[in-house]
Structure 1
Amino acid sequence: MKTIVGLEIHVQLSTATKLFCGCSTDYRDDEPNTHCCPVCLALPGALPRLNKKAVDYGLKVAKALDMKVLEESEFARKNYFYPDLPKAYQITQYDKPLAVEGTVEIEDDEGHEKIVRITRVHLEEDPGRLVHVAGGSKYSLVDYNRSGIPLLEIVTEPDMRSPQEARRFLNKLRTILEYLGVFDGDREGGLRVDANISLEGSERVEVKNISSYKGVEKALTFEVTRQKNLLRRGQKVTRETRHFMEGRGITTSARSKEEEHDYRYFPEPDLRPLRVADRVAAIDLPELPVARKNRFMTQYGISLNHARTLTGDPKLADFYEAVAHVDPVLAATWVADTLLGELNYRDMGIAAVPAERIAELLALLRTETITDTVGVQVLREMLDACAAGKPCEPPAVIVEREGLARATGDEFAQVVEKAVAANPRAVEDYRAGKKGALNFLVGQVMKETRGRADPRELGKIVSEYIDTGGV
């Protein structure tokens, strides 16, 4: 059964003030209900005033997604009651959105390029936030600090065919938004997703308010399994809205799916129509991920996989370019593979790492002053210091203090002789043609030198030592 997925992505735009008033959007560390005014609390007589920066950000996204900006767009009232919506309606855009008909290119599940069509983007205000009191309380608290934050809703066509494709699309979209500088991916609640999913021939189910990229994949994976099991048992899939319970990895029924007429849309009488299509030509776009990926491969001679990884985050791409002067291919391998792996293990971001220290480490590796094994040891010591808030020592200082410079010459010979003499059984196995025996002996030498010897070089030295009658 073919899986059909479409997404509605709600992106909090990184403006300083809310969409229809001057209240600050920087509220997360402040007390509840302290970033509010008569407009975002919907007090009688308060009138909205549109945030120009939010419109400019919306146009910037539309241009980056190659969309058609409408000659006239219009705000509307979407009527429904919920405690976090003080007006009992949401100001949004309905039949006249900001822009229509865009595209985003992703990889499908077979690794081929695929186009996901963007139906529309439109501006709307965020509702407030409900805080559910722990312990089974019968009431919830409402925080209106978030009420009125500018949202850009991006709606796709149902072009994705698996939960994995949906997650790849979100990762690609997030990267584009971060390159444009309109969105902070590290901001809690900065991107929320409603996912529409169906199996071919069955009813569509909406999963609401998924707040993480992993959560989208998990929620859709659960829904695929749930819907397939219903159909196998001869039951029907009900058209409904469901909530994703991230802690349990399941979706639960919330309500029957509303239709558009349930919201009683009508034009917002307090806001004039927007006529901003003529602004698009003057918008200067930065170098976007695909262009930067292609440039990295051409300019630095790195692989496609490394270029994709390095340009998947603008901060990471900037970091790579700050250290690529040492050796671009070596830098790509160490930043994309080794450094990212160590950062993910520590739950650290690239911003916590001084680029000049990584450049110094790469210089030691390029000149073969240290081995790759020692390079990893030094990197870990540097990152541990960064994570603890301590100064990150120069790698050369760490190498000197701990005696980690590459072992050469007589030191090799002495350690090899010692390791071979201490393991006669492994020597016999090597002479009998067992390849693992040589790896064992090399490992013993590596242990003695604390990784200061190159294993490939050691393999040659050990085998030559045995073959030439050293024992």
Structure 2
Amino acid sequence: MSEQPYTTVIGLEVHVQLSTESKLFCRCNTKFGAEPNTQTCPVCIGMPGSLPVMNRRAYELSLKTAVALNCTIPEFTKWDRKQYYYPDLPKGYQISQFDLPMSADGYLEISDPKDKFAPKRVGIIRAHLEEDAGKSVHDEAAGKADSEIDLNRTGTPLLEIVSQPDMRSAAEAKAFLQELKLLLTYIDVSDCNMQEGSLRVDANVNLHIEKDGKVIATPIVEIKNMNSFRAVERALEYEAPRQYREWQETGRQLGEAPKQTRGWDDVAGVTRGQRSKEESSDYRYFPDPDLAPVITSAAEVDVVRESLGELPADLRRRLSEGYSLSLYDADVIVNQGREFADYYLAVAGASGNPKSACNWVTGPLQRELKEREQTIDSFGLPAQRLAELIRAVDDGRLPSTRAPEAFQLMVDKGSDVAAALAELKIERVDETALVTLVQELLAANPKTVSDIQNGKFQAAASLIGQAKKKNPNVDPNRVRELAIELATSLQ
């Protein structure tokens, strides 16, 4: 495949709904799924004479996120009014932050265990707090019914995280979003449920094209209406070649056309033009006269930093370096969430076998969770019992080939290892008896002895089935080892 004749330049704007019980400037509930227009009050629907009061919890969660994203936290931040008209924006403006945001100049490190791209640091321009607008409900099927307005979301606290245009592929953009979502859930600031609107993404993309020794930048396009990370990836994969074709036809460069907003049609797999995009001056920002500025001291920031706990990147590093796991395995464990990672750490610590613990939690245990549609915190097998199972295999009480049977019994019936072994009639095989058994099998199979003596060690496998018929509790690996050892000693 030939190399692309352009470089894709991507920046993301991520709106995260913060996990607060009430809205940003009033006491209305933020719970999802209520009947339309039942979670409103004079403040969030902009009635004359109503005054906003800042939700301290929303600011605390924003500060926590900004610190986790390595942002600089200024001592002074203020609120601004962003003027624009949407039918679902009853005040005619949005309370947001403009020139003095609550945080700026951070970064998030991304990588790919499958090496699709090199690890890199994506810059964060700013993370600022603002209120959400309402929701317009259209007749998408027939287009004939009236559009309706639901103002339940109006005033919901959002943290807008704006990245630098540092990403160069759809894969990098998807990795950024996955890592950001993981970070937000680890520090418990949002559930990041895209289906409920708790996390929304807009992508800004244009191309850098080399021509005659110069780099030409195409006009920037903002893509909206993406309801999954996969949709973001698909939209970017479509948009880059579309822009290149457009540039070939028009030759337009950055500055020669206004920034365009395009919507993603997930069914058709295309972006569609919607409107030209406003510049910041079009919003006529000015300080909100009803809200006092917020002062944040360095001591407060230090307290937040100390409260963060271990972040995903640090945990991956610890699993890789301290537990000798591959980067891929460490990534799988961390990406399942904090509770899953804690479960693994408990199993690894109690069993004394981190690698085997990894194999069990990322294999059989994860399959059980998926089949049962459960999360690790509701799973019926405590970490200590899985660790006991691993120890039983390691010390020879449980043959590795029968460990899956014991595991299933422990999951299905809540048994401990001793009960599972008793029900499966698994008993430790005395080493002396096992040696005697293998000697008998070798005597009855002279060709196998000859093959082993001639270096065909795989021939020893033919004795395993015979050994298990005589004693189902024998360890196949130990049978093979003894067969090779004893046959070789007969030479």
TM-score band w.r.t. shorter chain? 0.7 to 0.9
Deviation at 1:112, TM superposition (A): 3.8
Amino acid corresponding to residue 162 of structure 1 in structure 2: S
* Offset from partner CA, 1:182-212 (integer Å, 9 cap, x none): 2224573222111112221222221124333
1:251 Cα offset (Å): 2.9
Do 1:64 and 1:285's aligned partners in 2 also have CA atoms closer than 8 Å? no
**1:144-155 mapped onto 2 (5 Å cutoff):** 144-155=151-162
Residue range with higher mean Cα deviation, 394-403 or 157-166:
394-403
Q: Out of 179, 198, 203, which is 2:206 matched to? A: 198
Using the alignment, how far apart are the partners of 1:203 and 1:412 within structure 2?
Answer: 77
Is residue 352 from structure 1 mapped to residue 378 from structure 2 by the alignment? yes
Q: Percentage identity across aligned positions? A: 38
Say yes or no: does 1:164 pair with 2:165. no
Deviations along 1:337-370, whole A, 9 cap, x unmatched?
5433553565543223243443343333333333
Q: Which residue of 1 aligns with 2:329?
A: 306
Matched, 1:365 2:393: yes
User: Aligned match of 1:136 in 128, 131, 142?
Assistant: 142
Calculate the aligned-residue CA RMSD, in Å.
Answer: 4.1
Per-residue Cα deviation, 1:96-141 (whole angstroms, up to 9, x for no partner) = 2111111112226566432111100100112223444564253444
2:359 aligned partner: 333
Query: By how many angstroms is 1:50 displaced?
Result: 0.5
Deviation digits for residues 389-443 of structure 1 (CA, Å, limit 9, x no counterpart)? xx6444554454344668888799999999xx9xx9x99999999999887x589
Q: Which moved more, 1:47-56 or 1:289-298?
A: 289-298
TM-score, normalized by length of structure 1? Answer: 0.81
Q: 1:204 to 1:434 in 2, by over 3 A?
A: farther
2:68, 2:308 within 8 Å by CA — same for their partners in 1? no
The answer on whether the counterparts of 1:404 and 1:450 sit within 8 Å (CA) in structure 2 is no
Structure 1 residues 1-10 or 171-180, which shifts more?
171-180
Pair 1:434–1:365, CA change in 2 (3 A): closer
How has the CA–CA distance of structure 1 residues 446 and 39 changed in structure 2, closer, same or farther, with 3 Å as cutoff? farther
Amino acid at match of 1:14: S
| Pairing partner for 1:64 from 61, 68, 71 | 68
Query: What is the CA deviation profile of residues 123-161 of structure 1, one whole-angstrom value per residue up to 9, with x for unaligned ones?
Result: 011222344456425344433222211111111100111
Instruction: Please identify, of 428-437 and 59-68, the stretch whose mean Cα deviation from structure 2 is larger.
Output: 428-437
Q: How does 1:14-413 map to 2 (within 5 A)?
A: 14-25=19-30, 27-107=31-111, 112-133=118-139, 135-139=141-145, 140-185=147-192, 188-200=196-208, 201-231=217-247, 239-278=259-298, 279-283=300-304, 284-289=306-311, 290-297=313-320, 299-312=322-335, 313-323=337-347, 324-329=349-354, 330-340=356-366, 342-344=368-370, 347-353=373-379, 354-379=382-407, 385=412, 392-394=414-416, 396-403=418-425
> What runs of 5+ residues in structure 1 fail to find an aligned partner?
386-390
| Bigger shift: residues 459-468 or 263-272 | 459-468
For residue 47 of structure 1, what is the amino acid of its counterpart?
A: L
The DSSP-based 3-state class of the residue aligned with 2:332 is helix
The CA distance in 2 between the partners of 1:446 and 1:259, in whole Å, is 78
Q: Which amino acid aligns with 2:361?
A: V
In structure 2, relative to structure 1, the CA distance for the partners of 1:268 and 1:327 (3 Å cut) is same
CA distance in 2: counterparts of 1:338 and 1:225, whole angstroms: 42
Q: Which has the larger radius of gyration?
A: 2
Task: Report deviation, 1:173.
Answer: 1.9
Letter paired with 1:314: R
Deviates more, 1:267-276 or 1:365-374: 365-374
Task: Map Cα deviations across residues 435-469 of structure 1 (whole Å, 9 max, x no partner).
Answer: 99887x58967997999765544555677899999
Distance 1:260 1:10 in 2: 18
> Amino acid of the residue matched to residue 192 of structure 1?
R
Displacement of 1:243 in angstroms is 2.1
Q: Could you say if the C-alpha distance between residues 40 and 429 of structure 1 is closer, same or farther in structure 2, counting changes exceeding 3 Å?
A: farther
| Higher deviation after alignment, 32-41 or 371-380 | 371-380
Aligned length: 459
Matched residues in 2 for 1:185 and 1:443: separation? Answer: 52
Q: What TM-score comes out, normalization by structure 2 length?
A: 0.78
Q: What 5-or-longer segments of structure 2 have no aligned partner?
A: 1-5, 209-216
153-162 vs 186-195, which deviates more? 186-195
Deviation of residue 224 (structure 1)?
Answer: 2.9
Query: In the aligned structure 2, how far is the partner of 1:12 from the partner of 1:44?
Result: 26
CA contact (8 A) 2:94 2:133 kept: yes
Structure 1 residues 114, 466: closer, same or farther in 2, change over 3 A? same
What corresponds to 2:212 in structure 1?
Answer: none
Determine the C-alpha separation between the residues in 2 that align with 1:343 and 1:184.
20
Amino acid corresponding to residue 164 of structure 1 in structure 2: A
Cα separation, 2, equivalents of 1:381 and 1:262: 66
Letter of the 1:79 partner, please give it: Q
Match of 2:105, SS?
A: strand
1:311 deviation in Å? 3.3
Q: How far, CA to CA, are the matches of 1:233 and 1:405 in structure 2?
A: 77
Assess, with a 3 A threshold, how the Cα gap between structure 1 residues 360 and 202 changes in structure 2: closer, same or farther. Answer: same
Deviation at 1:6, TM superposition (A): 0.7
Aligned CA distance change for structure 1 residues 442 and 285 (closer, same or farther; 3 Å)? farther
In structure 1, distance between residues paired with 2:83 and 2:282 = 8
Deviates most, 76-85 or 92-101: 76-85
CA offsets 1:210-233 (integer angstroms, 9 cap, x no match): 333333223222323433454567
1:94 counterpart SS class? coil
Structure 1, residues 249-289: CA drift from partner, whole Å, max 9, x if none?
44333222232233232222221222224432332332232
Alpha-carbon distance in 1 for matches of 2:373, 2:265: 23
> Are residues 230 and 343 of structure 1, via their aligned partners in 2, closer, same or farther at CA, if it must alter by over 3 Å?
farther
